[in-house]
Amino acid sequence: MRPTVHDIAAEAGVSLATVDRVLNRRPGVKDATRLRVEAAIAAIGFVRDMAAANLAKSRVYPFTFILPAGDNSFMRGLERHVREAMARPAADRVAISLVIVPPFDGAAVARALDAAKVQDPAGIAVVAVDAPEVMDAALRVQASGIPLVTLVSDLGASCRDHFAGIDNHAAGRTAGSLMRRFVGRVPSATETIAVLAGSMLVRDHRDRLEGFRSALSETCTLLPVLEGQDDPAATERLIADLLARHPDVAGIYSLGAGNRGLIAALQRHSGPRPRAVIAHELTPHTRAALEADLIDAVLNQDAGHEVRSAIRVLKAKADGIPAVEAQERIRIDIFLKDNLPFPDEADGKVLRPSGSGSGEN
């Protein structure tokens, strides 16, 4: 049987009220008495169930989420899920502050992390930019004892407590494997593949590129990476120029956002389209492009799962208890025209076909 507060009181020879004051670090206890209670706790091996204690006290967890601004459909979906969590504080016992910063701006992310740290929240979740100033700010957050979760784009294990996102290297390898199958298992030396990224400043894009390269045939020519900054207009110009200069390009891998620009360029292109176009994130735009045969495959991550995972992990960190790793693993979904899930036309959410499991609750 696990030791209880009654066992502590008996071991230390004090009242239950005194034990409660010591456990909750409240004043009104003499130093000698506090030391006696702490010695009793150690002697009997008492471990406090912080989650149960916080539930009993109806503790509210103040969290800060830092997301990028811009026209990125996936990020706006991520923001929608955060705002949904903000709207149900009574159920989740969270008080979320949402901070929006310019996209791919390391200095702005670092300032937001420092500003959030001053507010002393129970935890911080951030879509990271892999820049030195962001890493330094993340280390300052950790040094202050505030749990830090990176969302979608990581910084590395030394700079945060948990990453809520897919294995981006595996996602890139998956895209490379699909590309091989679409353009031919042994492409000729003359076949070229183009890669469209948002920015190489974010680790998820670099990891996807590395995984993609590792899965391609050595005889396949990979063109220099195009960076569209997840801006549809800039991306459309880049892809239009690519198709004009390389009319024989065999495939395009869009590993970031900016897919609206990619789709617009493919729609306007008068010549034959690439044999394979692979993109990330199932949005209304990529869904329509799949249905119109402008895109062949979409790799997707569940933004709602990522937000819920970040909240669960931050709660666990605040309570000093381990997270359930299996529950926090974010799955990579692959969608073709043939297996698209049902859209919820009311709010743009994507629902799975009946009978399929989500793997997350």
99 SS3 class:
strand
Domain match, 68 and 32 both: no
337 in a domain, yes or no?
no
User: Is pLDDT at 254 greater than 90 in this prediction?
Assistant: yes
Q: Among 284, 300, 316, which residue terminates a domain?
A: 300
Domain match, 182 and 286 both: yes
pLDDT score, position 275: 93
40 in a domain, yes or no?
yes
289 in a domain, yes or no?
yes
CATH number for the domain spanning 27: value is 1.10.260.40
352 in a domain, yes or no?
no
Which residues span the domain enclosing 9? 5-48
Please, are residues 102 and 68 in contact by the beta-carbon 8 Å criterion? yes
Domain match, 173 and 226 both: yes
Domain match, 285 and 179 both: yes
d(CA 318, CA 341) in angstroms, rounded, equals 36
d(CA 23, CA 10) in angstroms, rounded, equals 15
Domain match, 310 and 290 both: no
pLDDT digits (tens, 9 = 90+) for 184-219: 755 555 689 999 999 998 999 999 999 999 998 776
Please, are residues 126 and 150 in contact by the beta-carbon 8 Å criterion? yes
d(CA 358, CA 165) in angstroms, rounded, equals 15
Domain match, 289 and 174 both: yes
pLDDT digits (tens, 9 = 90+) for 286-320: 999 999 999 999 999 999 999 999 999 998 888 77
pLDDT digits (tens, 9 = 90+) for 267-276: 999 999 999 9
Domain match, 127 and 205 both: no
Considering its fold, how many domains does the chain have in total?
A: 3
154 SS3 class:
coil
67 in a domain, yes or no?
yes
pLDDT score, position 50: 54
Domain match, 240 and 308 both: no
Domain match, 197 and 292 both: yes
d(CA 214, CA 329) in angstroms, rounded, equals 23
Pick 330 or 28 by higher pLDDT.
330
Domain match, 95 and 110 both: yes
Domain match, 88 and 145 both: yes
Q: Among 244, 279, 300, which residue terminates a domain?
A: 300
Distances in Å between the Cα of 268 and the Cα atoms of 119, 244, 263 are 50, 12, 9
Domain match, 23 and 39 both: yes
For 255, the token pair is 């590993």
100 in a domain, yes or no?
yes
CATH number for the domain spanning 70: value is 3.40.50.2300
285 SS3 class:
helix
341 in a domain, yes or no?
no
Q: For the beta carbon of residue 212, count every other beta carbon within 10 angstroms.
A: 25
355 in a domain, yes or no?
no
Q: Long-range contacts made by residues 305-309, C-beta under 8 angstroms, separation at least 24? A: 305/330, 305/331, 305/358, 305/360, 306/78, 306/81, 306/151, 306/152, 306/164, 306/165, 306/330, 307/65, 307/78, 307/81, 307/82, 307/85, 307/151, 307/164, 308/81, 308/85, 308/360, 309/164, 309/360
